[in-house]
Amino acid sequence: MKLSLEIARTHLLSKPKQTLVAMLGVTFGIGMFIAMVGLMTGLNNFTEELTMTSSPDIHIYHDITQDRPTLVDQLNPTGINVVHHQKPKKETSKLRNALQLTELIRKDPRVLGVAPTLSSQVFYNYGPVQLNGTISGVDIMEEDKLFDLRSKMKSGRLEDLQANTDGIIMGTGLARKLNVETGDRVVITTPEGYTMTLKIVGTFQMGIGLVDNIRSYANISMVQIILQKDQSYITDINIKLHDLHLAKAIAPEYQMMSGYKAEDWETANSTFLTGVIIRNILTYSVSITLLIVAGFGIYNILNMTIYNKMKDIAILKAMGFSGKDVKQIFMIQSLVIGFIGSLAGLLIGYFLSYAISKAPFDGGDFISLDHFPVNFDAKYYIIGIVFGVATTAVAGYMPSRKASKMDPIEILRG
Amino acid sequence: MEQVLRTHKITKYFYDPEKFQVLKEIDLTVNRGEFLSLVGKSGCGKSTLMYVLSTMDTDYEGELEIAGERLTGKTQNELAKFRNEHIGFVFQFHYLLPEFTALQNVMIPALKLNKYSRSEVEDRAYEKLKMLGMQDYAKKPSNKLSGGQQQRVAIARGIINDPDIIMGDEPTGNLDSYNSNLVFDIFKELTHTYRQTIIAVTHDVEFARNSDRIVEMSDGKIISSTAATLAGT
């Protein structure tokens, strides 16, 4: 073993250029893998986080657009019935017994927090112009538990909303469009035509234009007044779980229990999550291609080395080296190339990732980003080195086996 | 006389391009300390016989015994180990590993044998190089030496493990007359002074005539086996 190691080392050192080229193949493969995986998973984590901040793990609401059996179906259930263009029944989006439901869900040990809210479409008046948006009536402290609102406040405090019954916390995008600041007043109009003047006590930024440009928070009682509804009028229940990956399993339970639609976050954000899957597929396919190319490079170089060393292999075998010893000599070479090449690749990958994470990037109105989000998770570095060494082992094995099987007599006879 | 090599009815066929019997029931015994030349026309099977005797070719019928050990039917790995310990090689070309120094080349078979410590192996390698007058070139890369020097280093490598037999395939075939004589003298000294056994395939008539015994082959059979010094007179 020691002797094989020595011969392998001499072979590698006697052709430094060739060795370096073989190593660089692996280095670039792994380096690109690390940089790509870092950026892609960084983006994925970022979007997932955004998704989490904008939607609860489970959202219970009254889906009034849901298909319902037609009258004809009810009367003639066995026949073939065609009802053209059926419209939803006139219903309010009120959740019955919402507060009791909230207490029931709060007792579930899997649940971290529950917040009953009511939300409605409203118009924000900006002089003669009316901007479309939504207003959410919330218990701001409960809402904070679910979405960590406190960290997203750009001005004002959550407590100010509790203190001011006619207060409102507005998304930064919306505030900019309305040209208002904390302390200003804003006039809103409900679809029913009711008008109300509210005082802006703070602004928040979730990081998603979809939310920041349309949403404001107010107290539940205030929104009930605006909508001219009674005190039990609640339209939504937002639930946060201890383990968000259970959402898909728990949602149907709540749907059964409440009789209303319970939507989990994965369903609500399926477009976002499709993007994650596509990015993952891209990352891995490109990385694997890079590594396979590097593997072919090593295969080629080792094949060439072995071809050039036919005589050496023959004499080593004559002198008493077994096929296994010869295989060892060349396997050691490819593994050394793979290991050092991969290590250098991790280093280059780290520096590339670092450079990317410092590159300025404007997310625009849609998402608030000033730098690329990059993931430095050690897991991917471990995958990188394991994959790099494994590829070189496979690439080196075939030529090494050929060398070990070679018949020395044919070469020595000349 | 102690027998170091013995064969019994060694027969071998070539199958490509068609079946052809290249060795026909060869019986041969070689004594310790003997310097034997294997001669014959091209294609008579002398090289083939040598590769069978050296255990590298295992595709034959009959029996082979070296140093009292029956080698027929052993696995490739066992034979490799056996060669390492008991057989030394000198070929027409030196086949030194070009990346290593002369000394390292000589040391490799001994390091493979793993019987002595590294420093002992180095001492022994120096000793062998000195015996061949090559001690001054020990630290030189093997590819920087002249042809004669390379062949001497190759001989030192062949005898580093004190083998029972040295197999030579045209050991002087690629050398000028000066270096041929040098190599021949070394062989003579190895057999007579150090009691080494040498089996050398050769075309060189003079080389053969000056060895101890000439075994002549023709059409895969041994046709004569004579003490060379007698034939010379």
What pLDDT, in 10s, does the model give residues A303-312? 887 888 888 8
Please compute the mean of the pLDDT values over residues B187-204 and round it to a whole number.
89
Please compute the mean of the pLDDT values over residues B15-25 and round it to a whole number.
88
**pLDDT, tens digit (0-9, with 9 covering 90-100), for B56-87:** 888 889 999 998 888 888 888 899 999 999 99
H/E run at residue B113: helix B102-113
Contact B77 A3 (CB under 8 A): no
Tell me the average pLDDT of chain A: 85
Q: What is the DSSP string of B29-66?
A: EEETT-EEEEEE-TTSSHHHHHHHHTTS----EEEEEE
The Cα A288–Cα A29 span in angstroms is: 8
- Which residue reads 């960084």 in tokens? A42
H/E run at residue B69: strand B69-70
* pLDDT at res. A354: 93
Contact B100 A409 (CB under 8 A): no
Which chain A residue shows the shortest CA-CA distance from B101? A10
The Cα B66–Cα B79 span in angstroms is: 11
Chain B residues touching residue A324 (CB < 8 angstroms): 77
* pLDDT at res. B232: 42
Contact B81 A322 (CB under 8 A): yes
Please compute the mean of the pLDDT values over residues A311-340 and round it to a whole number.
90
Rg (C-alpha) for chain B, rounded Å, is 17
Contact A10 B99 (CB under 8 A): yes
Residues sharing a CB contact under 8 Å with residue A410, sequence separation 6 or more, in sequence order: none
Q: Are A171 and A153 in contact (CB under 8 A)?
A: no
DSSP state of A199: E
Residue B229 has which token pair? Answer: 């010094």
**pLDDT, tens digit (0-9, with 9 covering 90-100), for A137-156:** 988 888 888 888 888 888 88
Residues sharing a CB contact under 8 Å with residue A366, sequence separation 6 or more, in sequence order: A208, A209, A210
H/E run at residue A298: helix A270-308
Domains and CATH numbers, chain B: 33-48+74-232 (3.40.50.300)
- Contact A386/B at CB under 8 A: no
C-beta contacts of B204-213 below 8 A and 24+ residues apart: B204/B172, B204/B173, B204/B180, B205/B39, B207/B37, B207/B172, B207/B180, B208/B37, B208/B39, B210/B184, B211/B35, B211/B36, B211/B37, B211/B187, B212/B34, B212/B35, B212/B36, B213/B34, B213/B35, B213/B36, B213/B37
* pLDDT at res. A268: 81
Please compute the mean of the pLDDT values over residues A366-392 and round it to a whole number.
84
Q: How would residue A367 be classed by pLDDT, with cut points 50, 70 and 90? A: low
Tell me the average pLDDT of chain B: 88
Of B55, B86, B56, B84, the C-alpha closest to B71 is B55
For residue A408, pLDDT over 80 is answered with yes
Contact B169 A412 (CB under 8 A): yes
Please compute the mean of the pLDDT values over residues B181-185 and round it to a whole number.
88
For residue B230, pLDDT over 60 is answered with no
CA distance to partner chain A, nearest, from residue B78 (Å): 9
Q: Are B174 and B93 in contact (CB under 8 A)?
A: yes
* pLDDT at res. B231: 44
Q: How would residue B229 be classed by pLDDT, with cut points 50, 70 and 90? A: low
Of A145, A144, A162, the C-alpha closest to A153 is A144
**pLDDT, tens digit (0-9, with 9 covering 90-100), for A255-290:** 888 888 888 888 887 877 788 888 888 878 887 887
Q: What are the boundaries of each domain within chain A?
A: 2-52+272-412, 58-68+87-267
Q: How would residue A366 be classed by pLDDT, with cut points 50, 70 and 90? A: low
**pLDDT, tens digit (0-9, with 9 covering 90-100), for A179-226:** 888 888 999 998 888 888 999 999 998 878 778 888 899 998 888 888
Reported ipTM: 0.89
Please compute the mean of the pLDDT values over residues A331-351 and round it to a whole number.
92
Chain A residues touching residue B97 (CB < 8 angstroms): 7, 10, 312, 315-316
Q: How would residue B122 be classed by pLDDT, with cut points 50, 70 and 90? A: very high
Chain B residues touching residue A311 (CB < 8 angstroms): 93, 95
Chain A residues touching residue B108 (CB < 8 angstroms): 3, 7, 316, 319
Chain B residues touching residue A325 (CB < 8 angstroms): 80, 112
Looking only at the bridges linking them, the beta strands covering A195-204 and A153-156 are: antiparallel
Q: Are A404 and A323 in contact (CB under 8 A)?
A: yes
Q: Which residue in the set B51, B89, B99 is minimally distant from A319, CB to CB?
A: B89
* Lowest mean pLDDT across A68-72, A329-333, B45-49, B60-64: A68-72
Contact B76 A413 (CB under 8 A): no
Q: Between B101 and A84, name the one with better pLDDT.
A: B101
For residue A294, pLDDT over 80 is answered with no
Residue B208 has which token pair? Answer: 């053969």
**pLDDT, tens digit (0-9, with 9 covering 90-100), for A41-73:** 888 888 777 777 777 888 888 887 766 777 888
Of A25, A31, A26, the C-alpha closest to A381 is A31
- Contact B56/A at CB under 8 A: yes
Percent residues over pLDDT 90 in chain A = 13
* pLDDT at res. A297: 76
Choose from A1, A12, A322, A328 for mutation: most chain B CBs within 10 A.
A322
For residue A91, pLDDT over 80 is answered with no
The amino acid at A205: Q
The Cα B196–Cα B193 span in angstroms is: 8
Tell which B residues from 87 to 116 touch A, by Cβ distance under 8 Å. Answer: 89, 91-93, 95, 97-100, 108-109, 111-113
Contact A322 B97 (CB under 8 A): no
H/E run at residue B167: strand B165-169
CA distance to partner chain B, nearest, from residue A305 (Å): 13
Please compute the mean of the pLDDT values over residues B182-190 and round it to a whole number.
88
Contact B112 A321 (CB under 8 A): yes
* pLDDT at res. A345: 92
* pLDDT at res. B106: 92
- Contact A414/B at CB under 8 A: yes
- Contact A152/B at CB under 8 A: no
- Contact B85/A at CB under 8 A: yes
Please compute the mean of the pLDDT values over residues A303-327 and round it to a whole number.
87
The Cα B206–Cα A414 span in angstroms is: 23
Contact A414 B93 (CB under 8 A): yes
For residue A80, pLDDT over 50 is answered with yes
Q: Are B142 and B98 in contact (CB under 8 A)?
A: yes
* pLDDT at res. B153: 92
Choose from B97, B111, B113 for mutation: most chain A CBs within 10 A.
B97
Percent residues over pLDDT 90 in chain B = 28
Please compute the mean of the pLDDT values over residues A6-20 and round it to a whole number.
87
Which chain B residue shows the shortest CA-CA distance from A9? B99
Tell which A residues from 287 to 316 touch B, by Cβ distance under 8 Å. Answer: 311-312, 314-316
* pLDDT at res. A346: 94
Contact B99 A324 (CB under 8 A): no
Please compute the mean of the pLDDT values over residues B7-16 and round it to a whole number.
89
- What are the E-state strand segments in A5-72? 58-61
Whether the model clears a pTM of 0.90, i.e. scores above it, the answer is no
Contact A324 B56 (CB under 8 A): no
H/E run at residue A169: strand A167-171
Q: Which residue in the set A312, A318, A324 is minimally distant from B83, CB to CB?
A: A318
**pLDDT, tens digit (0-9, with 9 covering 90-100), for B83-112:** 999 999 998 888 899 889 999 999 999 998
